[in-house]
Amino acid sequence: MDRVIGIDLGTTNSCVAVMEGDTPVVIPNRGGYKTTPSIVAVTEAGKRLVGHIAKRQAITNAENTVYAAKRLIGRKWNSPQVKNALLTSSYTIVEGPHADVRIKLRDKTYSVPEVSSMVLQEMKIIAEDYLGESVEKAVVTVPAYFNDNQRQATKDSGLIAGLDVIRIINEPTAASLAYGFGKGLDKTVAVYDLGGGTFDISILEIGAHGVFKVISTTGDTFLGGEDFDARVIDWIVQGFTEEHEVDLRQDRMALQRLRDAAEKAKCELSSVRETEINLPFIISAGRNEALHLQRSLSRETLETLTEDLVERTVDICRQALADAKLDVDEIDDVILVGGMTRMPAIQKSVAEFFERDPNKGVHPDEVVALGAAIQGAALVDERHEMILLDVTPHALGIMTFGSLFEELIPQNTTVPTSRRKIFTTSRDNQTAVKILVMQGESKQADENELLGEFILTGLRRAPRGEVEIEVSFDINTDGIVSVHAKDLETGQNQSIQVTATSGLTQDEISTMIEGAKDYMVERRSDEEFEGVRQEAETHIIEIERLFPEVERVVGGADFGRDAISKARNVLDRARKAIAAKDKQAVKDHLEQLARTERMFKGVVARSE
Ligand code: AMP
């Protein structure tokens, strides 16, 4: 049976888990960390870096380091979110060929799914190293509030990374699975998820027979830890400008250092009441002079700076309860997910709103990946029995006369579902209608996301309002939407399957898949080289250490001189092979190096 890994592809950090027996476990990366920064960079030498190693070099390579790509995934170039990112990102964002978003790193331009695929590929490698086998299938989580294009873009990222994403599930649903799976609970729970870039709240019913039913879900895909960091950055920049009349934002390197320091201070203030922000030589001030930044930030100030952000999450919680038609006292438990929920002000506000202390039993950074692993196992192994009933996170409908949005399937409808509605023509003698399929909550159609369009032709010529057209929407369990339009009088009909788009064509995806495969081959080969290099270096160091002693003991004799010169030769050749990065040549020298080391050790042992 195929192993399925569960991946929480986070804005800031990602986490991978797998089911071992009946228990989901988080897989640590090589550094022993259970989460990996969702950061990708390209070095001057053109080398790709992902995770902690990319984060560590972010300050000195800010322009070529991508963080928070999830905020851009599946977005159109002209969306307000992209405009916002253009103002705040230290890397270069450009328009793609399909009105999508691309990121420029060094001399190459990458699509957002491609950047995310690099993070997914890293998670795949972490899992494969741990399991000792190749992994092809994954369940990947997304914020509940992601629209179809964002989901499709996430699926494409998996595809590029060499993963068959067998299901995309919502992060809060995954969290509730990890919380309630196999426990025979009968509860209504709220999952409050505040991560690096997004906020989600879902209300779920967990039934005794493994039924997980989402009742309502809502959120904001542009509200997260980074907004809290931005407030701290603004506060520092403003203070610095007042003091020195220098705008720190003008300097990319300074801004990146500031960003790191602001996030660090925010995290520290979850456990201490006051912290120092200390950035020496933050910016140059004329010739041979530099300005230093030193400020202390209190928890109280942080709370004041971010009060409205916390309040916004509480308003959204209120909305989720209203959508679920539940009162606060009908919620049995509150689960906190996402790194930001460690902030005391958030815990306090959530406790106040829900009138109970949040559950302490789940790990906010790991619970989503664990839930994804549970779902993955359940999809391929019927022993893990459960039923997941999710909802449509956004309303679906069509654009009607006057650019208004006419809803057919309301937000929070359990899927699968189907709905139909009768429409009429808006002009006399109209023989065709254009059906624009949209997703969103605004009454104004152009404020919603366009999913697809088609034209129903051959309508009977008649005064406006006379011809009746039935439009029906169907959503299956995978969330795929089909739309049909039918002229009720003539039976003439048209339909489309609304396939969301990540902004990439099939050809582009295929090329990217090949690119990812090449990377994998190169990376495995680099790793193999690193393995033999380390083995060779260990022998070389040991031989070098023994040299003086061997020379002292046998250097006077002919056979000794001969052996020493041979040993020097072996060392020279091995060193050259290492310098040339010639894996095979280094491998070929390993045996000789080992033999020389044994011989040297023998000589030294005999002399003692
Ligand atoms: P996630 O997307 O769930 O990994 O959450 C990442 C966000 O949580 C980032 O904005 C972090 O700065 C934030 N975060 C992590 N640890 C803490 C902490 N101890 N206190 C406050 N925020 C934190």
- How far is the centre of ligand 1, averaged over its atoms, from the C-alpha of 352 (Å)? 21
Q: Tell me whether residue 260 is one of the annotated catalytic residues.
A: no
- Please give the number of the atom of ligand 1 that sits closest to the Cα of 368: 3
CB neighbours (10 Å) of residue 529?
A: 17
Gap between the Cα atoms of 239 and 136, Å rounded: 51
Q: Tell me whether residue 474 is one of the annotated catalytic residues.
A: no
Q: Tell me whether residue 311 is one of the annotated catalytic residues.
A: no
For ligand 1, say whether the CB of 12 is within 6 Å of any of its atoms. yes
Phi, psi values for residue 140, rounded to 5°: -115, 140
Q: Is residue 313 a contact partner of residue 349, using CB atoms and an 8 Å limit?
A: yes
Alpha carbons within 13 angstroms on the beta-carbon side of residue 492 total 15
b/e 495-523 (16+ beta carbons within 10 angstroms → b): ebebebbbbbeeebbeebbeebeebeeeb
Look at residue 457 and tell me whether its pLDDT is greater than 90. Answer: no
Q: H helices within 91-184, ranges in order?
A: 112-131, 148-160, 171-180
Look at residue 175 and tell me whether its pLDDT is greater than 80. Answer: yes
Residue-wise pLDDT for 216-234, tens only, equals 998 887 899 999 999 999 9
For ligand 1, say whether the CB of 225 is within 6 Å of any of its atoms. yes
Categorize the per-residue pLDDT at 144 as very low, low, confident or very high, splitting at 50, 70 and 90. confident
Q: How far is CA 532 from CA 32, 61, 419, in A?
A: 22, 30, 63
Ligand 1, atom 18, lies closest to the CA of 267
Alpha carbons within 13 angstroms on the beta-carbon side of residue 427 total 9
Q: Is residue 112 a contact partner of residue 153, using CB atoms and an 8 Å limit?
A: yes
Q: Is residue 41 a contact partner of residue 54, using CB atoms and an 8 Å limit?
A: yes
pLDDT score at 509: 86
pLDDT score at 28: 97
pLDDT score at 478: 64
Ligand 1, atom 17, lies closest to the CA of 267
The preferred substitution site among 33, 198, 340 for testing ligand 1, maximizing ligand atoms within 8 Å of CB, is 340
- How far is the centre of ligand 1, averaged over its atoms, from the C-alpha of 598 (Å)? 52
Ligand 1, atom 1, lies closest to the CA of 195
For ligand 1, say whether the CB of 592 is within 6 Å of any of its atoms. no
Structure tokens at 126: 């972490």
Task: Name, in order, each residue with C-beta under 8 angstroms of 254's C-beta and a sequence gap of 6 or more.
Answer: 248, 282, 283
Q: For residue 320, which amino acid is it?
A: A
- How far is the centre of ligand 1, averaged over its atoms, from the C-alpha of 340 (Å)? 4
**Nearest-5° Cα angle at 9, 315 to 451:** 70
Ligand 1, atom 4, lies closest to the CA of 13
Q: What is the DSSP letter of 70?
A: G
pLDDT score at 526: 87
> Any idea which residue has 């695929």 for tokens?
117
For ligand 1, say whether the CB of 343 is within 6 Å of any of its atoms. yes
pLDDT score at 500: 65
| Percentage of the chain lying above the pLDDT 70 cut | 99
Categorize the per-residue pLDDT at 34 as very low, low, confident or very high, splitting at 50, 70 and 90. very high
pLDDT score at 1: 67
pLDDT score at 519: 87
- Please give the number of the atom of ligand 1 that sits closest to the Cα of 364: 3
- Overall average pLDDT of the 309-332 stretch: 97
**Phi-psi domain of 24 (left: phi exceeds 0; alpha: psi -120 through 50; beta: other):** beta
For ligand 1, say whether the CB of 266 is within 6 Å of any of its atoms. yes
Residue-wise pLDDT for 557-581, tens only, equals 888 888 889 999 999 999 999 999 8
Task: Name, in order, each residue with C-beta under 8 angstroms of 439's C-beta and a sequence gap of 6 or more.
Answer: 147, 148, 394, 395, 396, 448, 449, 451
pLDDT score at 448: 87
pLDDT score at 339: 92
Structure tokens at 98: 């399909």
Instruction: State the average pLDDT for the chain.
Output: 91
Q: What is the pTM of this model?
A: 0.83
- How far is the centre of ligand 1, averaged over its atoms, from the C-alpha of 338 (Å)? 7
Residues for the chain: how many in total? 608
CB neighbours (10 Å) of residue 572?
A: 10
Categorize the per-residue pLDDT at 255 as very low, low, confident or very high, splitting at 50, 70 and 90. confident
Residue 221: name the closest of 312, 110, 321 by CA: 312
Q: H helices within 381-451, ranges in order?
A: none
Gap between the Cα atoms of 488 and 425, Å rounded: 12
Gap between the Cα atoms of 483 and 472, Å rounded: 6
Q: At what angle do helices 506-554 and 148-160 cross, to 10 degrees?
A: 40
Q: Tell me whether residue 576 is one of the annotated catalytic residues.
A: no
Look at residue 173 and tell me whether its pLDDT is greater than 70. Answer: yes
pLDDT score at 347: 97
For ligand 1, say whether the CB of 340 is within 6 Å of any of its atoms. yes
Residue 470: name the closest of 444, 452, 495 by CA: 495
For ligand 1, say whether the CB of 371 is within 6 Å of any of its atoms. no
**Phi-psi domain of 521 (left: phi exceeds 0; alpha: psi -120 through 50; beta: other):** alpha
- Overall average pLDDT of the 171-178 stretch: 93
Residue-wise pLDDT for 501-530, tens only, equals 667 888 888 888 898 888 888 888 888 899
Gap between the Cα atoms of 457 and 285, Å rounded: 69
Residue-wise pLDDT for 322-379, tens only, equals 999 999 999 999 999 999 999 999 999 999 999 999 998 889 999 999 999 999 999 9
Please list the residues that pair with 600 across neighbouring strands. Answer: none
Q: Is residue 424 a contact partner of residue 468, using CB atoms and an 8 Å limit?
A: yes
For ligand 1, say whether the CB of 493 is within 6 Å of any of its atoms. no
- Overall average pLDDT of the 430-445 stretch: 89
Look at residue 553 and tell me whether its pLDDT is greater than 80. Answer: yes
Q: Give the N- to C-terminal CA distance of the chain in Å, as an integer.
A: 58
